[in-house]
Amino acid sequence: MHFLSSAAVLAAGFLSASVDAAASQAFTWKNVRIGGGGGFIPGIVFNPTLKGLAYARADIGGAYRLNSDDSWTPLLDSVNSSNWHNWGVDALATDPVDTGRLYLAVGMYTNEWDPNVGSILRSTDQGNTWAETKLPFKVGGNMPGRGIGERLAVDPHSNNIVYFGARSGHGLWKSTDYGVTWNNVTAFKWTGTYFQNASSSYTSDPVGIAWITFDTTTGSSGSATPRIFVGVVDAGQSVFKSEDGGVTWAWVAGEPQYGFVPHRGVLAPADNTLYVTYANGEGPYDGTNGTVHKYNITSGVWTDISPTSLASTYYGYGGLSVDLQKPGTLMVAALNCWWPDEIMWRSTDHGTTWSPIWAWDGYPTLDFYYSYDISLAPWLQDNTSTAQFISRVGWMVEALSIDPFDSNHWLYGTGATIYGSHDLLNWDSEHNVTIKSLAQGIEETAALSLLVVPGGAPLLSAVGDIGGFLHSNLDTAPAQAFHTPTYGTTHDLDYAGNVPANVVRTGESSTAIQIATSSDHGVTWNPYYGGSLSTGPGKVAYSADADTILLMSSTAGPVISKYTATFSAIPTLPSGAAIASDKRNGTVFYLSTDTGVTFTKTATLGSSTVVNQIRVHPTLAGDIWASTDVGLFHSTNYGSTFTQISSGVSAGYSFALGAASTTSGYPVIYGFFTVDTVTALFKTEDQGLNWAMISDAAHGFGASSANVVGADMATYGRVFVGTNGRGIFYGAPSGSLPPVTVTATSTKTSSSSVATSSGTSTSSKVSTTSSSVVGTSSSSTKATSTTATSTTSASTATGTSTAYGQCGGTGYTGPTICPAGWTCTYSNAYYSQCLQ
């Protein structure tokens, strides 16, 4: 309604062209299947009373519900630019009484990266629809310690009562009306003082309350459960309890205090025991020491049951689960055991003895007590890795859950996927279980760039943390991420317009040249020898004839290389400026006409202060579009002059040109724009005269400014949206055949088109100085939100790591240099290691 009325205002104020500006067109959307999740899963929660009901949460990509076929259904795809931070889910609670009820604590950051307060989302239909209550403080789904939990819990005897434990010193909060209104539990005065590191606002915010665990054996249905345990992220006293339904609270005497913080607190009701995992860091990347303790509620005795002794551990503990069907059976996981692989254990005697998922059989031999099945996401292993020990069990294991109704069914979350199986009892019988990637339907990657190469695969993607892919089939998980070289985060891709089999890719690596080229549409790659380990990835543009690469290096600013010469700086181009290459004229970059030797500002784009993206017509030389903070601009003369699109477009973010509906037509433009004050995904088929919104109430795509858009010049209607945490989508107009696995055909060629725009080429030097300034801020906005799964991985530390020590990885801040004779070797996005 708001949308229609603003459109009406606009129709009166602008020319007739905008009458249709408020139109929308129904599109059908599906995830491009990467499979396997592709990011951190901080929480997995089974409902304790309804068999088969379980949920998983992601740190920047919403929440999911488990289906009976082991796949997952996303629950927050309605989130759009207006409430983008609701994709950060810091806690989840499923109601054990009314099993339709589900609660999420949402918000992305508690520091200045996110200006908005957090919310409790509540559903009565297992997450299909939501109501929202804003809290008087921020919630940090992508903050440190996000795998600790769950800090949201429903009273099992009086399900109108819901508790939430805040971050940032805001304490414990309680609702007595099913999460509609909330009040501070002022009698609970321990807010959690622990934080990771005072060096930044991101790491210095107190993690707050850790978890809330009701003792279901106390009290009775209809009145508040008397005994409640609350863990607090504090290196001193950290486990507290109430015996009177939350009126008064006290420390649980005898709790061990080693300076560790409690990650998970799980009740074994049949044993009257509370189990707690501790680590000397809040996670998800750290932990080098810790314990597992059990607290006998009857006797009040704490017992250290750690699988590895304090003296010899090099990891803390995270994931913890008890088998409700088998009293005395429980499992724990190291929070991170980076070498040789993540480890977890199972006990059938209340933690007195443990059996591990793998064990040394005389170094360097390992016995693996599992079979490994990544058929649903083969890319989880880089099969070109030369690491001596391959990470398979995972890392960042905070979420570990045994199905409360099925002792054979277990799931656990890692930094990259969800693993589990239906044969867990084999652990006890033959000590050999299946570890299978069971994250089908979870797509939580952050996409940084999408490219459809004429004549190539349906899509190439650049994604955070797990590199990026050649998608030969949009509905099938790719077999391998881009490799040789392998990048943790791939920043950008481009192709050479006249010889499109030539593709360039840039990304982060501590062991490989950070820029690579392919001459077979992105199927195979070689390091680009003009680059180095310190080139610095960034936005990249390939000249039309594939002889020159322009790179907006994250470390050196704008640099250029021709014929694999070493990259050299371009003083005339502002750092952070949006860049692009002409797709026909091999000497033109935007905005340079001498193959990037000099860049000159010759046009200003209205009152814009930032150019967000430049897109170039694939076959018409000199025909370019630029989205800015004040709207969309078009030039047909190599950027000499620009025309602002006046049909109500007041801002533009990522966009792309796709196939026209007729062979002679101008390409369709798809992108995130603000049209008639509505910020959403739009398309225009007539060069910006008329617009139709193609996102909808069920597909909001999160933050418009963080998304990337791609389109296919060979298939009308085919558009791609890369989100910041919900993977990649592809869409087509509803009613048309759902685009499945069509292989792109060659681009249309146009021989007559160049003349249209070549006339004014002498004055074609253009650059928007303004764009550079905003370009920088816009890219940092993206980086901030991408921090999501990734966080900055560039280590600024000096010094030398140790033999077998860590030397790189997402979130790692230690030394990146190895001792003489040792090589820093990529293991996974979170871990590179000094090996011989």
Ligand X SMILES: *[C@@H]1O[C@H](CO)[C@@H](O)[C@H](O)[C@H]1NC(C)=O
Figure out which of the listed residues 25, 116, 184, 355 binds ligand X, where binding follows CB under 6 A: 184
Site pattern 619..648 for ligand X (x: CB under 6 A): --x----------------x----------
Site pattern 33..72 for ligand X (x: CB under 6 A): ----------------------------------------
Site pattern 517..556 for ligand X (x: CB under 6 A): ----------------------------------------
Position 360 contacts ligand X (CB under 6 A): no
What are the CB-based long-range contacts (under 8 Å, 24+) for 304-309? 304/256, 305/275, 305/347, 305/350, 305/351, 305/352, 307/332, 307/345, 307/354, 307/356
Give the side-chain half-sphere CA count within 13 A for 102: 26
Calpha distance 117→135 (Å, rounded): 6
Q: Which is nearer to ligand X, 537 or 811 (CB)?
A: 811
Of all helices (H) and strands (E), which one includes residue 462?
strand 459-463
β 63-66/152-154 pair status: unpaired
Calpha distance 579→460 (Å, rounded): 19
Figure out which of the listed residues 387, 501, 754, 817 binds ligand X, where binding follows CB under 6 A: 754
Binding range to ligand X, per CB under 6 A, among 32-40, 361-369, 708-716, 802-810: 361-369
Residue 554's Cβ-count burial label (10 Å; 0-12, 13-18, 19+) is: buried
Q: Which is nearer to ligand X, 44 or 102 (CB)?
A: 102
Figure out which of the listed residues 680, 708, 714, 818 binds ligand X, where binding follows CB under 6 A: 680
b/e burial code for range 49-79 (CB count within 10 A of at least 16 → b): ebeebbbbbbbbbbbbbbeeebebbbbbbbb
Rg (CA), the chain: 27
CB of 209 to ligand X, least distance (A): 10
Figure out which of the listed residues 510, 593, 770, 810 binds ligand X, where binding follows CB under 6 A: 593
Calpha distance 625→87 (Å, rounded): 31
Figure out which of the listed residues 68, 298, 664, 751 binds ligand X, where binding follows CB under 6 A: 298
Position 266 contacts ligand X (CB under 6 A): no
Position 752 contacts ligand X (CB under 6 A): no
Position 366 contacts ligand X (CB under 6 A): no
Calpha distance 699→793 (Å, rounded): 31
Q: Which is nearer to ligand X, 500 or 739 (CB)?
A: 500
Figure out which of the listed residues 700, 725, 727, 811 binds ligand X, where binding follows CB under 6 A: 700
CB of 501 to ligand X, least distance (A): 19
Binding-residue total with ligand X (CB under 6 A): 51
CB of 68 to ligand X, least distance (A): 26
Figure out which of the listed residues 181, 353, 384, 743 binds ligand X, where binding follows CB under 6 A: 384
Figure out which of the listed residues 175, 213, 761, 789 binds ligand X, where binding follows CB under 6 A: 761
Q: Show the beta-strand stretches assigned E in 617-727.
A: 624-628, 631-635, 643-644, 649-658, 668-675, 678-684, 692-693, 708-711, 719-722
Position 479 contacts ligand X (CB under 6 A): yes
Of all helices (H) and strands (E), which one includes residue 753?
helix 753-758
Figure out which of the listed residues 311, 698, 737, 820 binds ligand X, where binding follows CB under 6 A: 311
Q: Which of 805, 779, 792, 832 is nearest to 203 (CA)?
A: 792
3-class secondary-structure state, position 21? helix
Position 183 contacts ligand X (CB under 6 A): no
Which are the contacts of 36, defined by CB distance < 8 A and separation ≥ 6?
Answer: 374, 376, 377, 379, 380, 416, 417, 437, 439, 442, 477
Figure out which of the listed residues 514, 585, 768, 789 binds ligand X, where binding follows CB under 6 A: 585
CB of 537 to ligand X, least distance (A): 20
Instruction: Determine the Cα angle at 37 with ends 31 and 42, to 5°.
Output: 135
Token pair, residue 136, equals: 């008087």
Position 273 contacts ligand X (CB under 6 A): yes
Figure out which of the listed residues 295, 369, 653, 822 binds ligand X, where binding follows CB under 6 A: 369
For residue 606, what are the CA distances in angstroms to 624, 629, 634?
Answer: 16, 10, 12
Q: Which is nearer to ligand X, 221 or 352 (CB)?
A: 352
* Phi, psi (deg, nearest 5) at residue 6: -70, -30
Calpha distance 123→121 (Å, rounded): 7
Binding range to ligand X, per CB under 6 A, among 51-59, 74-82, 217-225, 566-574: 74-82
Binding range to ligand X, per CB under 6 A, among 118-126, 242-250, 584-592, 661-669: 584-592
Give the side-chain half-sphere CA count within 13 A for 377: 26
Q: Which is nearer to ligand X, 583 or 782 (CB)?
A: 583
Q: Which of residues 101-160 bind ligand X (CB under 6 A)?
A: 136-137
Are 270 and 298 in contact, with CB atoms under 8 Å apart? no
Figure out which of the listed residues 432, 498, 532, 575 binds ligand X, where binding follows CB under 6 A: 432
Calpha distance 419→372 (Å, rounded): 10
What are the CB-based long-range contacts (under 8 Å, 24+) for 238-242? 238/192, 238/210, 238/262, 239/265, 239/274, 239/276, 239/295, 240/188, 240/190
Figure out which of the listed residues 42, 171, 307, 500 binds ligand X, where binding follows CB under 6 A: 171
Position 741 contacts ligand X (CB under 6 A): no
Figure out which of the listed residues 391, 535, 587, 816 binds ligand X, where binding follows CB under 6 A: 587
Cis ω for the linkage preceding 485 (within 30 of 0): yes
CB of 52 to ligand X, least distance (A): 27
Q: Which is nearer to ligand X, 178 or 369 (CB)?
A: 369
CB of 635 to ligand X, least distance (A): 12
Token pair, residue 99, equals: 């099993």
Torsion 107-111-112-116 (CA) sign: positive
* Phi, psi (deg, nearest 5) at residue 179: 85, 10
CB of 99 to ligand X, least distance (A): 25
Calpha distance 727→325 (Å, rounded): 36
Q: Which of 552, 556, 536, 482 is nearest to 793 (CA)?
A: 536
Q: Which is nearer to ligand X, 273 or 793 (CB)?
A: 273
Position 502 contacts ligand X (CB under 6 A): no
Q: Which of residues 245-264 bind ligand X (CB under 6 A)?
A: 258
* Residue whose Cβ sits closest to ligand X: 171
Q: Which is nearer to ligand X, 601 or 712 (CB)?
A: 601
Position 808 contacts ligand X (CB under 6 A): no
Position 790 contacts ligand X (CB under 6 A): no
Position 31 contacts ligand X (CB under 6 A): no
Which are the contacts of 768, defined by CB distance < 8 A and separation ≥ 6?
Answer: 577, 591, 601, 603, 604, 605, 608, 611, 626
Residues annotated as catalytic (active site), given as ranges: 59, 465
β 831-835/806-808 pair status: antiparallel
Report the interface residues with ligand X, using CB under 6 A. 78, 80, 82-83, 136-137, 169-171, 184, 186, 189, 191, 197, 199, 258, 271, 273, 289, 296, 298-299, 310-311, 313, 350, 367-369, 371, 383-384, 432, 479-480, 585, 587-588, 593, 621, 638, 678, 680, 700, 754, 758, 761, 764, 796-797, 813
